[in-house]
Amino acid sequence: MDFKLTDDQVAISDLATSLFREHGSDEHARSLQDAGQAIDRALWQKLVDTGLLAVALPESCGGSGMGMLELGLVLQQQGRFLAAAPMSTHALVTLAVATQGSSVLRDRVMPSLLSGERPAALATELDVTTALIAEPGELGWILEGQLSNILLEPWHEFLLAPAQTPQGTRLFLLDLKHVAPKRTTGKLTDMQTVCELYFTRAIVSVDSELGTSALEWLKPRMACCISAYQLGVLEEALHRAAAYVSERQQFGRPLGSFQALAVRAADAYIQVELLRSAQLQLAWRIDQGLPTEAAARVSKHQASQAGHMVGHTAQHFHGGVGADLQYPIHRFYLKSQAFSHIGGGAEAQLARIGRALADNSFAEYIHE
């Protein structure tokens, strides 16, 4: 089998690398942080203009007609440069609306999603029972309850989130201009804004609900995006760590020549390559229409496991300076830890894999 990327995939990856390098230097990141800006607006517009924001979207919906493999390549490069744009969530929400939403919903919101004019956020804790209840009413759905651990910046105007309905858990696209829940906000260690949202008899239109299979459709794609971004973060963190210990001298020798560091670096490299394999397999299975539950669990577990191990290794290789909040490697450490816990950490994924194996839920995947 030929596992090489196609010419189109290489071109997309190169375009993403060029764009994110321009907007992802350490100096640029520091300037955004000093200005208190969580989003690089100029980068966001370029993602729209180049079509990278819609790379996985069907051509019939205004996209490039590619798939999760290509979107993963773009997100991997974004992770390498920690470019400040919520691309993965917006791209997934746009794809969900285009493929799982009603024609009424598509006609109403797709133009503003495609243009990037109204950015969309996504509730990432999809495996947790939601405390938001949706009841049918005369004017639409009535929302009551709470959403927890929502990564939501002030500039986001849409939120795709699950709610409990009489028919089970469904996904709803909430227009935050019209549905204004009470918010309690905080900051994660990587400076993302995290919110608790409280709804009191908020009314949303009937067409805000996505299809009955949308939630299960979304889960593997979210795992794919998280894993791709984490792969880029860890690749760059390990690259920087290797460069540092190759140059830093101790006892007249480069630090990297000491066996203890070499073994630990090899372990970290193996973790990164395991994540690459898991992420690529998941993306390929999604694009081929194959069962994805097991691959999604494995990929998310490896993203969490590798994030913990490689993030700490890269920071420790830099010694005391690695703990400096203003030193570049610390940004990669914080981001790797934040992405390790999105959707549940490594232990949570192992527990779900164990339960699925005990229930024989992966039989179709194992024996195909």
End-of-domain residue from the set 41, 64, 85: 85
Is the model more confident about 321 or about 243?
Answer: 243
Among 34-38, 125-129, 172-176, the least confident range: 34-38
- Residue 230 and residue 348 share a domain: yes
Judge if 70 and 163 occupy the same domain. no
Judge whether 322 and 316 are in contact, CB under 8 Å. Answer: yes
What pLDDT score was predicted for residue 364? Answer: 54
Supply the DSSP symbol for 64. Answer: -
The mean pLDDT value for 84-103 works out to 95
Residue type, 47: L
- What's the CATH number where 71 sits? 1.10.540.10
Asked whether residue 30 is assigned to any structural domain, the reply reads yes
Looking at residue 366, what is its pLDDT? 53
Q: How far is the C-alpha of 237 from the C-alpha of 315, rounded, in Å? A: 8
Its domain, for residue 50, covers 7-85
Q: What is the pTM of this model?
A: 0.93
290 inside domain: yes
If asked whether residues 304 and 232 sit together in one domain, one would say yes
CATH classification at residue 259: 1.20.140.10
Q: Quick one: 355 and 220 in the same domain? A: yes
Residues 184 and 145 placed together within one structural domain of the fold: yes
Confidence at residue 2, expressed as pLDDT on a 0 to 100 scale: 67
Residue 329 pLDDT greater than 60, yes or no? yes
* Same domain as 309, residue 184: no
Mean pLDDT confidence for 109-124: 94
**Would residue 240 count as lying in a domain?**
yes
Q: What is the 3-state secondary structure (H, E, C) of 208-267?
A: HECCCCHHHHHHHHHHHHHHHHHHHHHHHHHHHHHHHHHHCEECCEEHHHCHHHHHHHHH
**In angstroms, how far is CA 269 from the centroid of its own chain?**
22
pLDDT at residue 249 greater than cutoff 60: yes
367, pLDDT greater than 80: no
225/335 same-domain check: yes
Q: Is residue 226 part of a domain?
A: yes
> Is residue 163 assigned to a domain?
yes
Return the percentage of the chain with pLDDT > 70, whole number.
Answer: 97
Per-residue pLDDT tens digits for 172-213: 999 999 998 999 999 887 788 899 999 999 999 999 999 889
Same domain for 227 and 321: yes
Domain boundary among 66, 85, 104: 85
- Domain total in the chain: 3
- Whether the per-residue pLDDT at 91 is higher than 70: the answer is yes
Which pLDDT score, from 0 to 100, does residue 362 have?
66
Say if residue 64 is in the same domain as residue 194: no
What integer pLDDT is reported at residue 250 of this predicted model?
A: 76
Whether 106 maps to a domain, the answer reads no
Tens of pLDDT along 330-366? 999 999 999 888 877 778 888 888 887 887 766 655 5
Q: Quick one: 53 and 163 in the same domain?
A: no
Q: Can you give the C-alpha Rg of the chain in angstroms?
A: 21
Q: Which of 70, 85, 100 is the last residue of a domain?
A: 85
Regarding whether 287 and 191 lie in a shared domain, the answer is no
HEC assignment per residue over 172-217 = EEEECCCCCCEEEEEECCCCCEEEEEEEEEEEECHHHECCCCHHHH
pLDDT value, residue 245: 87
Q: Are 196 and 152 in a shared domain?
A: yes
Q: Quick one: pLDDT band at residue 220, thresholds 50, 70, 90?
A: very high
What are residue 232's phi and psi, to 5 degrees? -65, -40
- pLDDT score for 158: 97
Query: What integer best gives the mean pLDDT of the chain?
Result: 90
> Which pLDDT score, from 0 to 100, does residue 119 have?
95
- The CATH number of whichever domain residue 134 belongs to comes to 2.40.110.10
Domain contains 249:
yes
Residue 368 lies in a domain: no
d(C-alpha 276, C-alpha 282), whole Å: 10
